[in-house]
Amino acid sequence: MQLGEIIGSFSEEARASEALLACNDIVLLARVGEAAFRHEETVGEYAAGAVRRFANLAVSEDWLALMNVIERADDPGIGCLNYMVHWSLKQDETPAVTAHAGCTCGDSGGCS
């Protein structure tokens, strides 16, 4: 299976949910459940969204790391989903940087 086919199939909620369960990682499933709850999504929606976010937002180093995971995985599809979901969870846990970080302007545009 080609990487594009893996990403395409995991972009579907039902397939992503099945594959997430196939990872047999209860801790990952719990973390995804918590993130899905915060985003008012099902576990499958969050997992499918994680794949789409990775495909759209990952930088070169992320893709290289994914290629290494796929190369070493017994099941490249499960390894791919696992990596992308972990990546997405990490992104969700990283606070967003605002345009006016550290200023006292109150976001009115008059940074001091």
pLDDT digits (tens, 9 = 90+) for 29-49: 999 999 999 999 999 999 999
* Residue at 103 is within a domain: no
Quick check: 50 and 56 in contact, CB under 8 A?
no
Question: Residues of the chain with pLDDT > 70: what percent?
Answer: 83
Q: How many whole angstroms separate alpha carbon 44 and alpha carbon 32?
A: 9
* Residue at 110 is within a domain: no
* Residue at 74 is within a domain: yes
Number of domain units in the chain:
1
* Residue at 52 is within a domain: yes
pLDDT of residue 103: 57
pLDDT of residue 6: 77
Structural domain harbouring 51: 3-93
- Checking if the pLDDT of 61 tops 60, the result is yes
Q: How many whole angstroms separate alpha carbon 66 and alpha carbon 7?
A: 12
The mean pLDDT value for 87-110 works out to 67
* Residue at 112 is within a domain: no
